[in-house]
């Protein structure tokens, strides 16, 4: 800038100095930690980060302070964990009439008087019908007035609680393919609506480290839980006090297993939720096999800690195998405890060796009369003594942390969470076994979809790949909200697809498989997977009981069709066993998309940039400081307040409005200003002048009649003889962008009681000079009827055009968009060589590729695998067309059949594997001896 002649440019170091001073003032410290395992890392603490949310007007206005009782479940605070399970002392404890009487604070567990003079004791504050309500006890006798102890801490300031989601995973710090392992931890404020949380702006970075495991970082993080912290509430314009709690631990399955102190997903009891599983032989019994289709006995933090303690005790006896057996049988293996176990086993052995060897110095063993059993007993006694010594040593580890314990603390004599095992096992309001909800991106798209895609395509030759690609490319994309398909890429790189590809395949592939591409058993899996997939992605639940009942059948179907195709897969794949657990996750956390990890994965890109730009000497510290600076910048340009010398200040108006007025910055910080509000239901957008036709009504009727339509539509509105302009799209009531050709549910103006299914033909707006009201705009639609029974092969409702019938509807009457696909297989639509010309660099080239030519325009399927508007579609169709049908009536009997077949194939496979292993071992031996001889 100085080079350009700008006056008063500060030096670079002065700028950096001011920046770090401001970051300190705003209150984000990048704090050093040494873990129990001796590793060093830095953390920006959740408590500091979430304090900023109160002072940031762009965030504060969205914070939902109390849980909510609703019939439609969209957000986590409307689901069971928040609403029903939490102790009241983890919920915001008070309420006031902020507008009229902000200083009279009503706390829970205190006597309060209603307007009618009666007395109650509020138990908790909830939102009901958009209004704050209290659940209360009525008080009839005079009872003791107990001031809530929080009042003492609060000192007249309002008090609230926040809950947050803590995400953790290993991420590469490089953009290139060379992996540069880091363990990262991010959080989101769970009191914000999902619409906000799907934006990167709302993801907060806590820590990264190339050396530290997730459990060590969690240990530093959970120290914030339950602590009081002051913050400036820009909505109440006063200082408040708040606490934070962990609500859930979204992550991929291996990470969630680690957070739950689970052994690897290959161990015999590999479920983080329950103790399902067992030996290979057990899993092949009728009972054992069937148990994998269901949820088992839940694990609890208490039982897990007991198992961990047992492992440590056994390690103090010096027997590696015994520890391993406990870990294999129970499926519990804790990363922190393992660190100590690995130390204790050699220590125990060393001590035992010394004691056994030094017979002279040991009075018991020196006795020559000791033999056999007596000798063993004496040895055992020594082992036990050593065990006691080692346990006494262990509880004093790590010494620096032990030294910080109060003199009179019981913790001085016992194993401690964080120091000796996973600290998540002892966090108020958190049960890692239950609160690690199953994540659909990794489990479904990159799990179930990937397995079935692999099984379908593994034997395809080039010809089949080309056939499928041509068919897939011909799919109608209207109403799916998917990016353009790259079907040739999908088949070319069929073994290295990512989530977005599977999202498209799951919704569309099923329409293009004939027997040559996919055998009937596999086709059944595609159908079951698509049907369940659509239900898993729904964003809101209107009728929880019905939804969970339907989901239960659909999950059972997916598992059962897999068992038909390959019974062993149920045993081998955890991602199949985990599906029944989703029911409970949804009941406790709301729709499955609410605990998806997509936004965290997106944030990794920001982390990578910070990582590349650092000098790699102190990555945890440097990246922490860089991101703390970014948080400070975000806070200031969002209009946030911070405290300097006892008063709360804000940046000047130009800086604090920077974000809300600068779309480039919004884009960079991953912030979207309520984009739904800008799309108004019923609004239209005209086509560009070059593409727009302007026609008289008579001319429009002529085009309809040229399609053999038998309808006479009178010109709408009270003005006759208008010129009608074509529009690009109309916005439906559900805020979908509907273009020509889109399939919609709409109200029929001729028959307003009925919603009908139709395809948009033209969207028209009278020429501007004559617009009098919205009522004059009109959408012309082609009506299709839905048959009363589903198509048997596809298991989907059928749209049929009996005769060509055009109707019109007002833009406001377009309810929502849905996706439909032509019945190409039924109508035998051929794939023609050279059907489509290829585009390169935006231009049409002289190259051609094969494509599908549709043979008619009468029969379509309502795409029941489509994710977008899946819930609206299911509400609008008759129940008998959408109700799921169980694949097997008597599941147990069928599972027993499969188990019987496994009892034959399983042992045979194991015998072959063993024989092969033996052979390899012998070959290796021979090679070795040859090498020695030569």
Q: Which of 48, 219, 274, 813 binds Zn ion (CB under 5 A)?
A: 274
Among 307, 824, 864, 899, binds Zn ion (CB under 5 A): 824
Q: How far is the CB of 608 from Zn ion (least distance, A)?
A: 34
The residue range among 12-20, 365-373, 460-468, 821-829 that interacts with Zn ion, by the rule CB under 5 A, is 821-829
Which one of 265, 544, 655, 829 is in contact with Zn ion (CB under 5 A)?
Answer: 829
Whole-number minimum distance, CB 283 to Zn ion, in Å?
13
Q: Which is nearer to Zn ion, 345 or 576 (CB)?
A: 576
Site for Zn ion in 514-533 (CB under 5 A): none
Question: Rounded to the nearest whole angstrom, what is the least distance from the CB of residue 531 to Zn ion in the complex?
Answer: 22
Work out how close the CB of 96 gets to Zn ion at its nearest, in angstroms, rounded to a whole number. 45
Residue with tokens 């050699």: 346
Q: Choose one: 173-181, 188-196, 505-513, 846-854; the region binding Zn ion (CB under 5 A).
A: 846-854
Least Å distance, CB 299 to Zn ion, is: 9
Part of the chain binding Zn ion (CB under 5 A), chosen from 10-18, 86-94, 762-770, 852-860: 852-860
Give the span between the Cα atoms of 231 and 643, in whole angstroms. 9
| Nearest distance, CB of residue 331 and Zn ion, angstroms | 10
Only one of the segments 55-63, 483-491, 639-647, 827-835 lies at the binding site for Zn ion (rule: CB under 5 A); that segment is 827-835
d(Cα 850, Cα 214) in Å, to the nearest integer?
Answer: 50
Of 512, 507, 453, residue with least CA distance to 482? 507
- Show contacts with Zn ion in window 617-656 (CB under 5 A): none
CB of 782 to Zn ion, least distance (A): 17
Q: How far is the CB of 171 from Zn ion (least distance, A)?
A: 27
Distance, CA of 812 to CA of 681 (rounded, Å): 7
Q: How far is the CB of 554 from Zn ion (least distance, A)?
A: 18
Measured from the CB atom, is 11 or 266 closer to Zn ion? Answer: 266
Both tokens of 686, joined, read 């005209």
Whichever of 273 and 600 has its CB closer to Zn ion, that residue is 273
Q: Least Å distance between CB 239 and Zn ion?
A: 46
Query: 121 or 276, CB closer to Zn ion?
Result: 276
Window of 271-279, 301-309, 602-610, 831-839 that interacts with Zn ion by CB under 5 A: 271-279
Q: How many residues bind Zn ion (CB under 5 A)?
A: 8
Q: How far is the CB of 365 from Zn ion (least distance, A)?
A: 48
CB of 271 to Zn ion, least distance (A): 3
271 lies in the binding site for Zn ion (CB under 5 A): yes
Whether the CB-CB separation of 222 and 140 falls below 8 Å is answered with: no
- Asked if 68 is part of the footprint of Zn ion (rule: CB under 5 A), the reply reads no
Nearer to Zn ion by Cβ, of 121 and 271: the residue is 271
R_g over Cα of the chain: 33
Of the pair 42, 574, the CB lying nearest Zn ion is at: 574
**Smallest gap from residue 439 Cβ to Zn ion (A):** 15
Strand pairing partners for 112? 120
Q: With respect to Zn ion, which residue has the nearer C-beta, 120 or 265?
A: 265
Q: Which is nearer to Zn ion, 580 or 624 (CB)?
A: 580
Task: List residues bridging with 162 in a β-sheet.
Answer: 244
**Pick 433 or 762: Cβ nearer Zn ion:** 433
Residue 278, SS3 per DSSP? coil
Q: What's the burial of 128, exposed, middle or buried (CB within 10 Å: 0-12/13-18/19+)? A: middle
Q: Shortest gap between Cβ of 822 and Zn ion (angstroms)?
A: 4
Among 273, 547, 603, 724, binds Zn ion (CB under 5 A): 273
585 makes contact with Zn ion (CB under 5 A): no
Q: Which CB sits closer to Zn ion, 274 or 550?
A: 274
**Residue of 394, 281, 404, 297 lying closest to 348 (CA atoms):** 394
Question: In sequence order, what are the residues at sequence separation of 6 or more whose Cβ sits closer than 8 angstroms to the Cβ of residue 501?
Answer: 490
Q: Which stretch binds Zn ion (CB under 5 A): 27-35, 62-70, 620-628, 822-830?
A: 822-830
Tell me the DSSP string of 616-632: SSSHHHHHHHHHHHHHH
Please identify, among the stretches 60-68, 330-338, 825-833, 917-925, the one whose residues bind Zn ion according to the rule CB under 5 A: 825-833
| DSSP result, 884-902 | ---S-SSHHHHHHHHHHHH
Q: Which is nearer to Zn ion, 579 or 593 (CB)?
A: 579
Contact range with Zn ion by CB under 5 A, out of 150-158, 499-507, 755-763, 848-856: 848-856
Give me the DSSP letters along 300-354: -HHHHHHHHHHHHHHHTTT-HHHHHHHHHHH-B--HHHHHHHHHHHHHHHHHHHH
Q: Which of 276, 518, 570, 731 binds Zn ion (CB under 5 A)?
A: 276
Helices 581-589/544-565 angle, 10° precision: 160
Nearer to Zn ion, 134 or 799 (CB): 799
Angle (nearest 5°) at CA 131 between 237 and 153: 45
> Does residue 134 sit in helix, strand or coil?
strand
DSSP bridge pairs for 696 = 723
Q: Choose which of 822, 865, 868, 874 interacts with Zn ion (CB under 5 A).
A: 822
Q: Is the dihedral of CA 573, 585, 502, 205 positive or negative?
A: negative
Q: Is 12 helix (H, G, I), strand (E, B) or coil?
A: helix
The answer to whether 774 touches 842, Cβ cutoff 8 Å, is no
Provide, rounded to whole angstroms, the least separation between the CB of residue 442 and Zn ion.
16
- Exposed/middle/buried for 129, CB within 10 Å: 0-12, 13-18, 19+? exposed
Residue 788 CA to its chain's centroid (Å): 37
Stretch that binds Zn ion, among 337-345, 712-720, 849-857, 883-891 (CB under 5 A): 849-857
Least separation in angstroms between CB 387 and Zn ion: 34
Separation of alpha carbons 355 and 565, rounded Å? 59
Tokens in use for 318?
Answer: 């010096």
Residue 331 sits at the vertex; the CA angle it makes with 326 and 337, to the nearest 5 degrees, is 70
854 touches Zn ion by CB under 5 A: yes
Are 697 and 762 a contacting pair, CB within 8 Å?
A: no
* Nearer to Zn ion (CB atom), residue 273 or residue 861: 273
The nearer residue to Zn ion, 159 or 470, going by C-beta atoms, is: 470
3-state secondary structure 366-417: HCCCCCHHHHHHHHHHHHHHHHHHHHHHHCCCCHHHHHCCCCCCHHHHCCCE
Within 8 A by CB and 6+ apart from 633, the residues are none
> Which one, 353 or 854, has the nearer CB to Zn ion?
854
Find the shortest distance in angstroms from Cβ 836 to Zn ion.
Answer: 14
265 or 544: CB nearest Zn ion: 265
In sign, the C-alpha dihedral spanning 167, 169, 173, 176 is negative
125-184: which residues touch Zn ion (CB under 5 A)?
none
Distance from the Cα of residue 331 to its chain's centroid: 24
Minimum CB distance to Zn ion smaller for 74 or for 822: 822
Burial grade of 152 (CB within 10 A; 0-12, 13-18, 19 or more): exposed
Cis? peptide before 398, omega within 30° of 0: yes
The distance of closest approach from Cβ of residue 902 to Zn ion in the complex, given in angstroms and rounded to an integer, is 19
Helices (H), 619-672: 619-637, 653-656, 658-661, 663-668
The interface region with Zn ion, picked from 557-565, 733-741, 818-826, 838-846 by CB under 5 A, is: 818-826
Is residue 370 a contact residue for Zn ion (CB under 5 A)? no
Note the residues at the interface with Zn ion (CB under 5 A).
271, 273-274, 276, 822, 824, 829, 854
């Amino acid at each position: 800038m100085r080079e350009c002649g700008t006056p008063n440019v500060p030096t670079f170091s002065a700028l950096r100095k001011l920046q770090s001073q401001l970051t300190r003032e705003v209150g984000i410290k990048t704090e050093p930690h040494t873990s129990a395992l001796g590793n060093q890392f830095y953390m920006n603490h959740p408590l500091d980060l979430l304090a900023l949310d109160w002072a940031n007007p762009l965030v504060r206005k969205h914070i939902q302070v109390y849980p909510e009782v609703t019939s439609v479940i969209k957000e986590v605070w409307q689901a069971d964990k928040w609403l029903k399970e939490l102790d009241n002392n983890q919920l915001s404890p008070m309420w006031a009439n902020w507008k009229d009487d902000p200083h009279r604070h009503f706390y829970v567990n205190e006597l309060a008087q209603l307007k009618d003079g009666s007395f109650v004791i509020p138990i908790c504050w909830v939102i009901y019908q958009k209004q704050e309500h209290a659940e209360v006890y009525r008080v009839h006798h005079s009872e003791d007035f107990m001031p809530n102890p929080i009042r003492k801490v609060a000192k007249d300031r309002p008090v609230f609680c926040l809950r947050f989601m803590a995400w953790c995973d290993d991420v590469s710090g490089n953009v290139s393919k060379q992996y540069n392992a880091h363990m990262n931890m991010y959080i989101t404020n769970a009191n914000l609506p999902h619409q906000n949380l799907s934006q990167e702006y709302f993801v907060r970075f806590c820590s990264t480290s190339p050396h530290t495991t997730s459990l060590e970082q969690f240990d530093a993080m959970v120290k914030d839980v339950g602590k009081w912290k002051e913050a400036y509430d820009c909505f109440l314009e006063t200082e408040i006090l708040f606490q934070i709690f962990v609500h859930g631990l979204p992550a991929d399955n291996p990470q969630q297993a680690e957070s739950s102190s689970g052994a690897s997903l290959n161990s015999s009891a590999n479920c983080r939720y329950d103790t399902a599983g067992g030996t290979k032989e057990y899993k092949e019994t009728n009972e054992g096999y069937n148990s994998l289709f269901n949820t088992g006995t839940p694990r609890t933090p208490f039982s897990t800690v007991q198992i961990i303690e047992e492992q440590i005790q056994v390690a103090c006896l010096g027997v590696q195998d015994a520890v391993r057996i406990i870990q294999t049988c129970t499926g519990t293996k804790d990363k922190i405890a393992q660190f100590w176990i690995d130390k204790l086993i050699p220590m125990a052995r060393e001590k035992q060796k010394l004691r056994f060897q030094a017979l002279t110095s040991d009075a018991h063993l020196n006795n020559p009369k000791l033999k056999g059993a007596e000798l063993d007993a004496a040895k055992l006694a020594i082992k036990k003594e050593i065990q006691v010594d080692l346990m006494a040593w262990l509880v004093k580890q790590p010494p620096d942390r032990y030294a910080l314990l109060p003199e009179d603390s019981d913790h001085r004599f016992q194993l401690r969470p964080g120091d000796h095992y996973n600290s998540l096992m002892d966090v108020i309001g958190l049960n890692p076994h239950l609160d690690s909800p199953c994540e659909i991106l990794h489990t479904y798209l990159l799990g179930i979809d990937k397995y079935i895609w692999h099984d379908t395509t593994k034997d395809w030759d080039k010809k089949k790949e080309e056939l499928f690609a041509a068919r897939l490319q011909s799919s109608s994309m209207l109403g799916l909200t998917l990016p353009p398909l790259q079907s040739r890429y999908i088949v070319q790189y069929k073994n290295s697809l990512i989530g977005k590809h599977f999202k498209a395949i799951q919704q569309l592939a099923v329409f293009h498989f004939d027997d040559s591409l996919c055998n009937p058993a596999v086709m059944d899996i595609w159908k079951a997977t698509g049907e369940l997939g659509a239900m898993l992605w729904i964003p809101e639940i209107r009728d929880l009981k019905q939804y969970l009942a339907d989901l239960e059948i659909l999950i059972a179907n997916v598992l059962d069709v897999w068992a038909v195709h390959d019974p062993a897969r149920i045993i081998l794949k955890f991602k199949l066993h985990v599906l029944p657990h989703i029911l409970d996750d949804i009941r406790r956390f709301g729709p499955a998309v609410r605990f998806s990890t997509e936004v965290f994965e997106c944030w990794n890109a920001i982390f990578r940039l910070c990582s590349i730009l650092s000098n790699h000497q102190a990555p945890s510290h440097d990246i922490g400081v860089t991101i703390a600076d970014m948080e400070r910048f975000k806070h200031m340009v969002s209009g946030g307040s911070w405290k300097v010398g006892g008063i709360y200040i804000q940046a000047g108006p130009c800086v604090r409005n920077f974000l809300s007025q600068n779309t480039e910055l919004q884009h960079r910080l991953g912030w979207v200003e309520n984009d739904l509000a800008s799309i108004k239901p019923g609004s239209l957008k005209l086509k560009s002048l070059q593409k727009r036709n302007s026609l008289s009504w008579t001319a429009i009727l002529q085009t309809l009649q040229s399609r053999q339509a038998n309808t006479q539509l009178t010109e709408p509105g009270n003005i006759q003889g208008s010129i009608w302009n074509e529009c690009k799209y109309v916005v439906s009531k559900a805020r979908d962008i509907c273009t020509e050709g889109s399939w919609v549910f709409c109200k029929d103006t001729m028959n307003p009681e009925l919603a009908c299914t139709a395809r948009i033909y033209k969207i028209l707006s009278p020429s501007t000079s004559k617009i009098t009201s919205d009522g004059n705009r009109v959408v012309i639609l082609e009506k299709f009827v839905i048959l009363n029974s589903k198509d048997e092969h596809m298991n989907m409702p059928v749209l049929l055009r009996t005769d060509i019938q055009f109707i019109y509807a007002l833009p406001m009457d377009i309810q929502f968009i849905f996706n439909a696909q032509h019945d190409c297989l039924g109508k035998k639509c051929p794939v023609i060589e050279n059907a489509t010309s290829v585009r390169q660099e935006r231009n049409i080239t002289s190259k051609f590729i094969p494509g599908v030519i549709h043979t008619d325009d009468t029969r379509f399927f309502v795409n029941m695998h489509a994710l977008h508007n899946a819930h609206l579609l299911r509400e609008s169709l008759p129940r008998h067309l959408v109700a799921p049908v169980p694949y097997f009536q008597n599941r147990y009997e069928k599972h027993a059949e499969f188990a019987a077949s496994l009892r034959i194939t399983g042992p045979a496979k194991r015998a072959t594997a063993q024989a092969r292993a033996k052979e390899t071992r012998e070959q290796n031996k021979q090679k070795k001896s040859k090498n020695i001889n030569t």
